Amino acid sequence: MATDNANAGGFGEVSRVRGIVFEYLSFGASVFGLVALGVLLVYVSIDAFDLANASPEWLLTYFLTLVVPFLAFCLYSANDSEVTRRALAALGGGLVAVAALFTAIEAVVAPIPRLNWQLAYLFVVAAPVAAYLAYVGSRGRVAAVGFGLLGRLVGGAAIGLAVGTLFLVFDELVWFLAYTFGVVPAAALYAYGRWRAADRAATAAIPVGLVGLVTAVFLRRVVTVYPSDLVIYLWTIAIPVAAVGAFLVVDRSGRTVGIVVAGLPLTVATAGGFLAAGAGLSAPTVLLVLVLAGVPTAVYVSRVIEVGDGIVGLGLPILLAAGVAAGALIVEAWGVPAPDPWLDLGYVTEAPSRTPEEAGLYPAIVGSVIIIALVAVLSFVLGVGTSVFLEEYTPESGVLGSLTRLLQINIANLAAIPSVVYGLLGLGLFANLLGFGFGTAVTVALTLSLLILPITIISAQEAIRSVPDDLRRGSDAMGATRWQTTKNVVLPEAMPGIFTGTILALGRAIGETAPLIMVGAATTVFSAPSSLFSRFSAMPMQIYAWANFPQADFRYGVVAAGVITLLVILIGMNGTAILLRNRAERGN
Which stretches of the chain bind other proteins, using CB under 8 A?
A: 171-173, 195, 224-231, 234-235, 239, 242-243, 246-247, 250, 252-255, 258-259, 262-263, 266, 270, 303, 306-308, 351-355, 438-439, 517, 520-527, 530, 534-535, 537, 545, 547-552, 555
In 3-state terms, what secondary structure has residue 113? coil
Minimum Å gap between C-beta 274 and other proteins is 9
Estimate to the nearest angstrom the gap between the alpha carbon of 575 and the chain centroid: 4
Nearer residue to other proteins within complex by CB, 50 or 229: 229
Nearer residue to other proteins within complex by CB, 283 or 384: 283
Minimum Å gap between C-beta 304 and other proteins is 11
- Between CA 497 and CA 459 the distance in angstroms is 7
Of 387, 346, 317, which is closest to residue 153 (Cα–Cα)?
317
Nearer residue to other proteins within complex by CB, 161 or 242: 242
Nearer residue to other proteins within complex by CB, 466 or 531: 531
Name 535's bridge partners. 440
Minimum Å gap between C-beta 195 and other proteins is 7
Which residues, 6 or more positions from 89, have their beta carbon under 8 angstroms from its beta carbon?
none
DSSP 111: P
- Between CA 252 and CA 511 the distance in angstroms is 45
Nearer residue to other proteins within complex by CB, 188 or 321: 188
Minimum Å gap between C-beta 94 and other proteins is 35
Minimum Å gap between C-beta 224 and other proteins is 6
Minimum Å gap between C-beta 235 and other proteins is 6
Nearer residue to other proteins within complex by CB, 85 or 255: 255
Nearer residue to other proteins within complex by CB, 72 or 198: 198
CA angle 180, 181, 187 (to 5 degrees): 80
Minimum Å gap between C-beta 172 and other proteins is 7
Q: Residue 42: count other Cβ atoms within 10 Å of its Cβ.
A: 19
Nearer residue to other proteins within complex by CB, 86 or 535: 535
- Between CA 107 and CA 120 the distance in angstroms is 16
Nearer residue to other proteins within complex by CB, 255 or 482: 255
Minimum Å gap between C-beta 255 and other proteins is 4
Which CA distances in Å does 36 have to 118, 185, 274, 309, 402?
20, 56, 49, 42, 45
- Between CA 258 and CA 266 the distance in angstroms is 12
Which residues, 6 or more positions from 170, have their beta carbon under 8 angstroms from its beta carbon?
532
- State the DSSP H helix or E strand holding residue 28, giving kind and residue range, or none if neither: helix 8-48
Nearer residue to other proteins within complex by CB, 308 or 335: 308
In 3-state terms, what secondary structure has residue 530? coil
Nearer residue to other proteins within complex by CB, 236 or 456: 236
Which CA distances in Å does 104 have to 35, 57, 109?
21, 23, 8
CB 316 within 8 A of CB 147: yes
Q: Residue 205: count other Cβ atoms within 10 Å of its Cβ.
A: 19
Minimum Å gap between C-beta 432 and other proteins is 9
Cα-Cα-Cα-Cα dihedral sign, residues 104, 71, 580, 153: negative
Q: Name all contacts of 271-276 with Cβ < 8 Å and 24+ positions apart.
A: 273/230, 273/233, 273/234, 274/230
CB 262 within 8 A of CB 209: no
Nearer residue to other proteins within complex by CB, 122 or 522: 522
Nearer residue to other proteins within complex by CB, 367 or 383: 367
Minimum Å gap between C-beta 354 and other proteins is 4
Minimum Å gap between C-beta 545 and other proteins is 7
Which residues, 6 or more positions from 275, have their beta carbon under 8 angstroms from its beta carbon?
286
- Between CA 11 and CA 282 the distance in angstroms is 73
Task: Report the amino acid identity of residue 583.
Answer: R
Minimum Å gap between C-beta 185 and other proteins is 15
Q: Residue 228: count other Cβ atoms within 10 Å of its Cβ.
A: 11
- Between CA 326 and CA 321 the distance in angstroms is 9
Minimum Å gap between C-beta 446 and other proteins is 18
How crowded is the C-beta side of 62, counted as CA atoms within 13 Å?
Answer: 19
User: Any idea how long the chain is?
Assistant: 588
Core vs surface per residue 96-128: b (16+ CB within 10 A) or e: eebeeebeeeeeeeeeeeebbbbbbbbbbbbee
